[in-house]
Every structure is written in structure tokens, then in C-alpha cells.
Amino acid sequence: MFNLFSKKTKESNSNIESQIGFDLDNPILMSSIPASYVFLDALCSLMKGLEYERIGPVNSKNFPQVIDKYYFTLNGSSFCELYIYPYHNENIYFIPSLFKELNLEASEEIFTKRDGDVKRYLLPIVNLILIKNKKFENSIENWTTESQVELQNLMNDVGYEDELEKLILDELKITLDSSPTTQKMDFIQLFVSKFHNKNLSQYTPKSIQDRNKKIASSYDSIIITINKIQAWLDNELLRRRLEIFTLNNSSDNSLGFSKINNCITPFCFINLGCDVFGRFRITYGIDSRIINMIPDNMSNTLLRRIYEFTPGEMEPFVEFASLNMDCITYFENTLSHLENGDGYKLIEVERHEEKSIVDMFNNLVLKDDVDEETKKWFKR
């Protein structure tokens, strides 16, 4: 009896799940309109040729606000109609049954927020904050309870807090002081194009700003370590690295983490970034074949330096990505972007004249002007 009941329950649940998104009274639940578009874009990643367009709002007696109806095509042919309710209190990520059939191996990971999605959120956030603070007043734009809920949902989606509103209003004042005739949409587009999480750091407590300076300094010290290691390597490829400065490159903004600097070599990578709270963070990874690229003592020195340069309060803000990176492919793929020019710098480190560190050390000890830093480097 229990097995029969269990089987019926599973079949019933399966039938309900198969209707999610395709039934007006059982739509996909999202917390905002931008979140809906991120969701729809993710579905389109399941198969090439999958596209959608918004048909318009429809009403349902089961929901207090309108439901958005979307029409999907696959390679130009009709595929399905999908319903999304964009006023829920959270995002309920779910691959509708018909879409699941396109890629049986797909999981909810397709909904992970990607670089570029930040613009979908920032545009309406900036607009709502301007309306809230009665900037660029317009008779058809009123601040309502629904506006407050929408803004809160958008902010919750991406994790930003009051610092973002302060930044928007300060940037608006600077813009209007220099160009009083600036229109609202022009300002919104300008703000979004220049936005970087690092801009939020000025509104953080002094303790966080002080820690940010230490983390930035630690990043620079780790780059110096990488440079010293590369100078002893015979292979020309291993003596090359890319340093990428992305502070003014909006394409490197993501919803949770914006890169500031990024260093990529064939045997490791390290980047300095900033989260939605204005806090700096270091992330690094090591190629799985590093022991075949550089001597053990050098790879050990690299890891030891990272720990030594980021002690105490900085330690929680240093994230180890992986020991199994394919840094060679990462380096080569990134190198292909050099033609774009913006923020990319290819560095080719010259090989030391000495054959080995031992030879260099033996030559140095014959001199009286060996600097203390060099002594410490070789003693470790």
C-alpha cells in the first residue's frame, strides 16, 4: 500500500513540475524583471538557435501583479510559450521540462550569474534610485510601494547595499556640476559604463579601507615574487606573463566580484578584485603540471610567499581556486585578446645571466654591497 501511494505521489509531483512555466497559473517565479532576463538568457544557452521575445503582460487571479508571457523559437520554428512572474520575493531557478529535454545533462548551474549580467541589474537600479531621490523629476514617474519592493528585490539579487546609492548620488552631483544639461538616460548609461565595485570602497569603514591597502600591497609583492621566479627559468614561454588592469573595463565586472588586476602565467594565475561590499580579495590558482615547469623549491617559495604576504586579518580574503588549473590554455586564450589593447600588458622577463641561483649567490658573496633583501631572498 505504501509503495503504491508513494508511486502515485511521485507521478503527481512529476505532472505538476512538468507544467511549471507553461501554465499561466503556475509560472516561473523571479524577483525582478532583470532577473527574468538573466533566467531566459540562461535557458537559451541550452541549445544553439534558441531565442525568445516578450509577448506582453497577462493577468492571473492567483497573482496580485501581472505575469510576463514569452514566446520561444528554435532555429526559427515555434518552440513554446513561457510564463514568468517577476514579483516574487526570491528567484526560484528551475529548468522547465521541455527545455530539460534539449540537454539532459544540464543543471541549475546554467543560472549562475555571469559577467555582463551586472548591466541588466544596474540600469533599473540606478533609474529607481534617481526616482526615489527625486532626481530628473518626471510627472509620470512616482515613487511607490511597488517601486520600493522592486528596488529591494534588485539589490537583494546582486547583494549591493546602501553604499551603491551613495555612490550613484555622488557621481550624479559630480556629473551635473560639470555638465548641468545632462539627461537622465545619459547619466545612467555613463554610470553603468564606468561602474566598478572598487568605487564602493570609499564608503567602507576605515578598518576595511586600511585592510584593502594591505591586500593591494600584498598582491604587488606576490607579482614581484613571480617575476623573480621567472627570471631563473630557461623556457621562454614560462618567462612570459600577462598583467591585466581591468579597473576601467566594464566587461570584467561581474555581479559578485569585479577584477582590478589580473596576472596570468603558464604555471599560475593571481587576481586582485573587489566584492559588492567594497572589500578587496585575492584569488589564485596553480597549474596541475607546475612541478614539470619550475623547480620544486620555486613552486614552494611561491606558495609560501602568498601565505607570508597575507597574514592575520587578510587571510580570509585570500581564496585558493584550484591545484588543477590548465594555466597554459588560460594564458594562451587570454593572449589572443591582446589585439584589443585595453588594459592588457604582455611582459617577457629576461633570463638571469647566471646558470643557476647557486652561481649567482656565489658571485654575490664576493661583493661587499649585497643588499639585505637579496640576502633574505636566498636564505629562505
Query: Do residues 339 and 208 both lie within one domain?
Result: yes
Is residue 356 one of the residues assigned to a domain? no
Cα(106)–Cα(14) distance, rounded to whole angstroms? 18
Residue range 111-125: mean pLDDT, rounded: 74
> With contact defined as beta carbons under 8 Å apart, do 232 and 306 qualify?
no
Pair (34, 101) in one structural domain = yes
Q: Domain ends where: 69, 93, 110?
A: 110
**pLDDT tens across 286-343, in order?**
988 898 999 988 999 999 999 999 999 999 899 887 666 788 888 888 887 665 556 7
**Residue 305 counted as domain residue:** yes
Cβ atoms 284, 270 nearer than 8 A: yes
Q: Is residue 362 part of a domain?
A: no
State how many domains the chain has. Answer: 3
Q: Where in the sequence is the domain holding 208, given as residue range(s)?
A: 204-349
Same-domain check for residues 73 and 133: no
Alpha-carbon dihedral angle through residues 271, 277, 132, 70, given to the nearest 10 degrees: 60
Residue 178, domain member (yes or no): yes
Do 176 and 233 have their domain in common? no
Alpha-carbon gap, residue 282 to 328, rounded angstroms: 20
Query: How far lies 242's CA from each of 32, 192, 231, in Å?
Result: 38, 27, 15
Q: Does one domain contain both 190 and 208?
A: no
Based on the fold, state whether residues 123 and 210 are members of the same structural domain: no
Q: Are residues 247 and 343 in the same domain?
A: yes
- Whether residue 363 lies inside any domain: the answer is no
Residues 136 and 35 in one domain: no
65 and 24 in one domain? Answer: yes
pTM above 0.75, yes or no: no
Q: Are residues 249 and 307 in the same domain?
A: yes
The verdict on 189 and 208 lying in the same domain is: no
Q: Is residue 9's pLDDT more than 70?
A: no
* Length reported for the chain: 380
